[in-house]
Chains A and B, each alone.
Chain A
Amino acid sequence: MNNGTMEVQFRHPRTAKFLVADLSPQCTGREALQALMAAQDGGEPFLTQSDGEAYNLIHERTSQSITPNMTFAQAGVESGDIITLDKEMRGAHSNGVTGTSGGVTLWRA
C-alpha cells in the first residue's frame, strides 16, 4: 500500500487476464468499473462495454458482491485481494421487441 492506496487485482470476465491497480479504499464499485473501461492493456481497453451490458464486481476472498455505491473499504477489500468482473447474463428470451426505421429492422431483442 502506497499513500493510502492498495494494490488490487481485477480478473477479466472472459479471459484469464489480470489487471493490477492501485486503488483508494474510498473508490466505489462504480468508479472502479469506469476506471477499468478507461484502462489500457497492451493498447486495448481492458474492459469494453456494449450498450446495455453490465458487470458486477465480486470480492474473491469473501465471496461477496461489491455494489456500485459501496467503497472498497466498506466491502472489506485489502491490499493483494482479487476482484472478479462478472458479466451480467440474461434470460436469452426475446421480449418481442423490434426496432424499425423506414421499414428496415434495426434491432430485435
Chain B
Amino acid sequence: MLESNNNTFSRERLAGYDPERINHSTVLIAGAGALGQNTALDLALSGVGELRIVDRDRFEEHNRTRSPAFPLPQEQDAYGLDKAGAVARKLHPLMTAPNPVMRFANKWIQELGDGAFEGVTAVVSAVDSRIARAYLSDKARQHGLAFIEGGFERENLRLTSFPAPNGGDLATLPCWRCLQPNVEGSLSCSSYARNADAAGIIPAIQNTAAVLGGLQAEAAILAIQEELRGEDDAKSFSLNIRTWQSQTVLLRADSKCPGVHFVSRTEPIKLQTTANDTVEQLLREISEHLGSSARLWLPLRTYSKLFWTAPCRNRKCGRLVSIRSPEWRWLMHPRCTKCGGTFAPVSDDANASTYTTPEISLLSKPEVLAATGREIGFAPLTLVGAAGEDATTAHYENTPPPAVFQLPGSLNDLFESGEAT
C-alpha cells in the first residue's frame, strides 16, 4: 500500500506550488452544485488544508451527470442527499493535505454570518443566486479576502477574480457589485420565477463545469500564493469550450457601487450575549461597553434590513404578514403566510403597516426586542456594528461602523464535520 510522504507534492513543487502554505490554507466554497463540486475536488487534490462547503440544496437525479461527488446508491444512507454534506463526505478522503479538515453546512451562506469567513484565505462563489453572490462579494471585501466568482451556461463560462485588497484606495478597487449593482431581480418575484421555469433552468454540462472548476481552483491557489499571480488587477475571463474563443477583461470600479468598499480591521469586542439570547439583552450588553444607549447596525449592507411586518401585495389578500426576518432570508421566500401567494418585495415604507428597519435600538418595537439574535439573522461569531445614541454617521455609508462586537461561538456552531465515517 502506498503511503503519503514527502513525494506527495513533488510535481506540484516543480509547478511552483508551495505545499506547506497550501496545506495551511482555508477556502470557503459557497454552492455545491456542478461548479462547486468540481472546484472543491480540485482544491482537495491540490492540498488545501481546510475546505468549508455551504449549500442548502439537495441532490436530484438530473445532477448525476455533472456531479463528481454524487453519492452512490450504497452511500446515500450514510452521506444523505443534502449536497453540502454528501459532497464534503465524498471529497474528504481525496484531500491530500497532511491533516485535512472538511466542514460543511446545509444552509444558506447568509445564515452562517461572519464566522464562516474566519481564517479563510479565499472565498469561492459557485451559486446562482445573485443575492448570495452580492453577500459573498460584500463579506469577502469586508474581511479583506480574495473573491472568486464563476458562472457558466451551456459551453460558455466566465471566471471573475477579485484579489484580496492590499492597501491603496479601496473605493477604486472593483468588486463584484460594481458590475452588478442591482440584484433584486433574482429570486425576488414570481415573474422571474416563471421565466426561470419556462426557460427550463440553466443549461449545464459537466465539461464546462470541470474547466471552470479548474480555473476557480487555480485562482484560489493564486490567492494563497500571491507571488504566482503577477498582478493585483481584478479580471474576468470568458471562454467558449467548443470554439475556444476567449476574452480577458480588466474590471473597473463603479463610482456609485452599492457594495462594500472597506475592509473592517477593527478588533471586535467579544460579547457574552449569545445568538440565542434576546435582542434586548444584546443591546444592553453593548450599551454597557459603549457607555451609551446602543444602536445596532444590522450586520451588513446586503439585504440585512430587518423586515418585521408588511401587507401582502396580492389584491385579493392584502393582509398584514408577519415576516420577522432579515431581508435576504425573506427574499428567498417572498411568500404570504396567509394566502400562500408570492408577492413583490417591499422596498419602501409607504404603507404605515410596514415595519422594516436598518438599525435596532432599545426604542425598537417590544416584539423586536423580545426576538432572539438568530431570528434577526445573527449567528454565532457574527460581527455586530454598533454606535452610541449620539453617533452622527448614517447607516449604509461605505465606512466601517464605529465599534464592532462579536457574538460568542465556535466554527462547530456553524459547520458540521465532513469527515467520512
Chain A interface (Cβ < 8 Å from any Cβ of B): 50-54, 56, 58, 62-70, 75, 84, 86-97, 99-103, 105-109
Contact = CB atoms under 8 A, between A and B. Distances in A.
Name the 5 nearest CB pairs between A and B, nearest first.
Answer: A107-B193, A93-B33, A89-B151, A67-B254, A90-B128
B265 interface: no
Contacts, number: 177
Contacts of B174: 65, 67
Contacts of B190: 99, 101, 106-107
A92 B187 contact: no
Given A51-B192, A70-B255, A97-B332, A92 B236 contact: no
Contacts of B197: 105-108
Interface string B308-350: 0000000000000000000000001111000011100000000
B171 to A, nearest CB: 13
Contact of A107 (B152, B192, B209): B192
B56 A90 contact: no
A93 B129 CA distance: 8
A50 B186 CA distance: 10
Chain B's interface size range is 35 or more
A89 B158 contact: yes
Given A69-B255, A92-B33, 15 more contacts: A52-B187, A53-B185, A68-B181, A90-B127, A90-B128, A90-B151, A92-B128, A92-B204, A93-B33, A93-B126, A94-B33, A107-B197, A109-B128, A109-B129, A109-B186
Interface stretch (B16-24, B219-227, B242-250, B296-304): B242-250
A108 B198 CA distance: 10
B35 interface: yes
14 contacts: A52-B130, A54-B182, A63-B249, A64-B250, A65-B249, A75-B252, A84-B247, A90-B127, A91-B150, A91-B152, A93-B31, A93-B36, A95-B128, A101-B335
Given A99-B342, A107-B190, A93 B32 contact: yes
Given A63-B248, A69-B255, A99-B190, A92 B152 contact: yes
A70 to B, nearest CB: 6
Contact of A63 (B36, B187, B191, B247): B247
Contacts of B127: 90-91, 93, 95
Contact of B57 (A94, A102, A105): A94
A70 B193 contact: no
B55 A65 contact: no
B80 to A, nearest CB: 14
Contacts of B125: 91
Nearest to A51: B192
A96 B57 contact: yes
A107 B200 CA distance: 10
A12 B62 CA distance: 32
Interface string B52-91: 0001111000000000000000000000000000000000
- Interface centre among A65, A67, A93, by most chain B C-beta atoms within 10 angstroms, is A93
Contacts of A88: 151, 158, 180
A91 B36 contact: yes
B94 interface: no
Contact of A58 (B33, B151, B189, B249): B249
